[in-house]
Amino acid sequence: MFQRISIRNYRGFNDVTVDNLGRINLVAGKNNAGKTALLEAIWLLCGAANPRLVLNSHVVRGGNPTESPSWMAETYWKPFFHGLDTGRCPTVSGCHTSVGDMNLKIAWEKSLKTEISRAGGNGIPEKGRYSLKFTYTDPNAGQIESEARETTNEFKFEQKDDYVPFDSAVLKPGSGDVRDDAIRLGQLRKQKLGDEFLDALRVIEPRLQHAEDNASSGVPMIHVDIGLPELVPLPVMGAGMTHLARVILAVASVRNGVVLVDEIENGLHHSVLPDVWRVVGKAAERFNVQMFATTHSFECVGAAYEALGADGFRLHRLEAAGSMIRRITYEPSDVETALRHDMELR
């Protein structure tokens, strides 16, 4: 597990270190305090030198990787750099109990190559293309370099080593795919662990009797039995049920890895949050997974305390201070005191 994460020159982070990490890490803070950016940075580090992550929707906010590369780099890659200063390389580093010291550096470079577009047949060279170069190091892999480069009509990737230190998964509100859900449930059922999935979902729907990966509708998705004449597609059960299912399936699919969840309370009523934290904490321990989750909800923090206890999770708060972001990590005794006096933690 990560013991420490340090981020420099990435999005709103000038220089921030988050230490005293645990198995469950809850990150609070107001809008634009850097919560989502923290998850992004950790995910990039978990991917080592995978250049394709910079086209992933979990990192490229609102971007469409199918659109023209001519504006993707300037519009969506440049904001990776603190203050839009591409001369300052973003770095993400961490100390991990099994991997050791990990470090990822991202550099913005103007391509020395010239691309000639075939469009229109005019043969006019197009210059000014950009690339992101990645340099990753850890004691096991040594140094790995890769590149994501824009060309006239597409992105190109150069990656000689597809090494990753451990598996990771990220969930954002509204993200997810029913096909992936079905595959992950099938893998879990193959390991004879389907009952653990059912037990987790019963905190929201006690009538749940059975869940299976089913393609009867033409698209593989999870169907559940709640006592009706037919099985019901999981998405019909609501956003909260689907969200919890995806969290549990993500945890089960990255054994010994890292799961990152943005707005973990999304779609969930405050009354079920303590039970949600119990099943999430149990799953994280069962599969030896470290979790980083963000929240805007005071109730979510209180529910984590109720379910996991003061020593069962770590609470970190991010605060924007001008152009900087600072981090506060609460000791277990501080969380208890703050909750008792209804102090601002979000």
**CATH homologous superfamily of domain 169-310+330-340?**
P-loop containing nucleotide triphosphate hydrolases (3.40.50.300)
Look at residue 116 in the predicted model and tell me its pLDDT.
Answer: 54
Domain boundaries, the chain: 48-164, 169-310+330-340
Look at residue 12 in the predicted model and tell me its pLDDT.
Answer: 92
Look at residue 125 in the predicted model and tell me its pLDDT.
Answer: 46
- Residue segments in the chain with a per-residue pLDDT below the cut of 70: 60-71, 111-128, 341-346
Q: For the chain, give the secondary structure using H, E and C.
A: CEEEEEEEEECCEEEEEEECCCCEEEEECCCCCCHHHHHHHHHHHHCCCCHHHHHCCCCCCCCCCCCCHHHHHHHHHHHHEHHHCCCCCCEEEEEECCCEEEEEEEEEEECCCCEECCHHHCCCEECCCEEEEEEEEECCCEEEEEEEEECCCCEEEEECCCCCCCCEEEECCCCCCHHHHHHHHHHHHHCCCHHHHHHHHCCCCCCCCEEEEECCCCCCEEEEECCCCCCEEHHHHCHHHHHHHHHHHHHHHCCCCEEEECCCCCCCCHHHHHHHHHHHHHHHHHCCCEEEEEECCHHHHHHHHHHHCCCCCEEEEEEEECCEEEEEEECHHHHHHHHHCCCCCC
